[in-house]
Amino acid sequence: MTKWIEGKLRDLVEVNPTVKLIKGERYPFVSMDVIQPFYKPVEAKEEREFRSGGAKFENGDILFARITPCLENGKIAQVKNLKNGKGFGSTEFIVLRGKEGVTDTDFVYYLATNKAFRENAERLMVGTSGRQRVDKQQFEDQIISIPDLETQKRISSILGSIDKKIELNVEMNKTLEETAMTLYKHWFVDFGPFQDGEFVESELGMIPEGWECIEIGEAVSVLGGGTPKTSVKEYWENGDINWFSPTDLTTQKSLFISKSSKKITKLGLEKSSAKLFPPYCVMMTSRATIGEISINKEEACTNQGFITLIPNETFTMYQLYFWLKTNIDLILSIANGSTFKEVSKTNFKKLKILKPKNIEEFTRKCEMLFKLIESNLIEIEELTNIRDYLLPRLLSGEIDVSQAQKQVEVVL
């Protein structure tokens, strides 16, 4: 029978455990932006010299964002693959670790991601609007209720098996996209399949005979976006039209994107400069954060921080997606603005793209790769839904652990 333990968080979980780093030495550094919402693992993308500040942690520790809106967005992760096992990161992390003989560190991750735990942390925020942070003292003093250690390990094993499958799918999709990018460069940069043919001079250098160099504004429809007045509830209330903001792309970071965090009504669409476009168009953020790129799976529109490309028979979404990816430095170079950088549609439309011929094989191979990516993303969404259903019920004792284990075994 499961035994439940109740007490202060500080007594049941290690909060900001002591980790000794040597001043002046270089260590792996984890910034807030590399943590993906509700995605368990995180790895350091860089090394920095340790001076004195920042959250210090070891492999396996939990990084819990304490600042708004990162906490609300679910930026909580478990560190892995740190060089020499230690690292540091943003001062806006609270570091959590299981307490020996009391709590399992993997279980602590699921405890921290549980909605009830996060919402309680949000209530402990202090500070000025827009820069509020969780008060550490109150955070450590909060009362939690957890099952015995053996049950914790069983729960973290069940939920961990789902997260491991999600992680495998994410890694597989990275490989598939890298393969597609390699394919694009072979066809559109190195012109590998055309080396035995004739080449002609163009504004972009030597290109296969029969190809053309034209402005992107001539090649495809280039759309901007707009925002309905937020003060008019009829534009937003019960909206069913996807309306993407750059935050949707920066938080989800996915080749394909299904749902926007906010939706607008048909009236809101009509009364704004937002443009409705069909599924499988290529959206790129063009303001402040420039160069986040995703493909919408459903009919959608965007706010004014986007440039959206509408594929056609000649210019497929595969070519457009990788054209944007490979030309991101050029796109950034045409951004201007004093308050924040922005790429204007006028300047963007003048950029050159190759109008190809005889690329059916490229299109066919990319289509196969993108379908595999899309299939994996659908599975990730299904697994995420299962995990998010089980997590609060397992942590509250509403669902029997053995029953949940059998259900997950069937799915996996």
Which tens digit of pLDDT belongs to each residue from 161-177?
A: 999 999 999 999 999 99
**Whole-angstrom distance, CA of residue 257 vs CA of residue 412:** 24
Regarding whether 233 and 337 lie in a shared domain, the answer is yes
Percent residues over pLDDT 90 in the chain: 91
What pLDDT does residue 407 have?
85
Regarding whether 130 and 43 lie in a shared domain, the answer is yes
Find the domain containing 21 and state its range.
4-146
Residues making up the chain, counted from first to last = 412
The CATH number of residue 219's host domain is: 3.90.220.20
Crossing angle of helices 115-123 and 105-113, in 10° steps, is 70
- Confidence class for position 252, pLDDT limits 50, 70, 90: confident
Q: Domain for residue 390, yes or no?
A: no
Q: Which residues pair with 15 in a beta bridge?
A: 96
Q: Looking at 338, 355, 372, which one is the last position of a domain?
A: 355
What pLDDT does residue 340 have?
84
What pLDDT does residue 46 have?
96
What pLDDT does residue 53 have?
87
What pLDDT does residue 81 have?
96
- Confidence class for position 1, pLDDT limits 50, 70, 90: low
Structural contact between residues 21 and 27, judged by C-beta atoms closer than 8 angstroms: yes
Structural contact between residues 99 and 12, judged by C-beta atoms closer than 8 angstroms: yes
Q: Domain for residue 233, yes or no?
A: yes
Cα Rg of the chain (Å, integer): 24
Structural contact between residues 273 and 224, judged by C-beta atoms closer than 8 angstroms: yes
Instruction: Give the mean model confidence (pLDDT) for residues 108-129.
Output: 94
Residue 389 has pLDDT above 90, yes or no: yes
Residue 296 has pLDDT above 90, yes or no: yes
What pLDDT does residue 241 have?
97
Which tens digit of pLDDT belongs to each residue from 314-372?
A: 999 999 999 999 999 999 999 998 788 999 999 999 999 999 999 999 999 999 999 99
Q: Is 215 helix (H, G, I), strand (E, B) or coil?
A: strand
Backbone angles phi, psi at 161, to 5 degrees: -65, -35
Q: Domain for residue 72, yes or no?
A: yes
Q: Domain for residue 198, yes or no?
A: no
Regarding whether 216 and 351 lie in a shared domain, the answer is yes
Which tens digit of pLDDT belongs to each residue from 54-90?
A: 999 999 999 999 999 999 999 999 999 999 999 999 9
Count: domains in the chain: 2
Tell me the average pLDDT of the chain: 95
HEC readout, 130-197: CCCEECHHHHHHCEEEEECHHHHHHHHHHHHHHHHHHHHHHHHHHHHHHHHHHHHHHHHCCCHHHCCC
Backbone angles phi, psi at 223, to 5 degrees: -110, 150
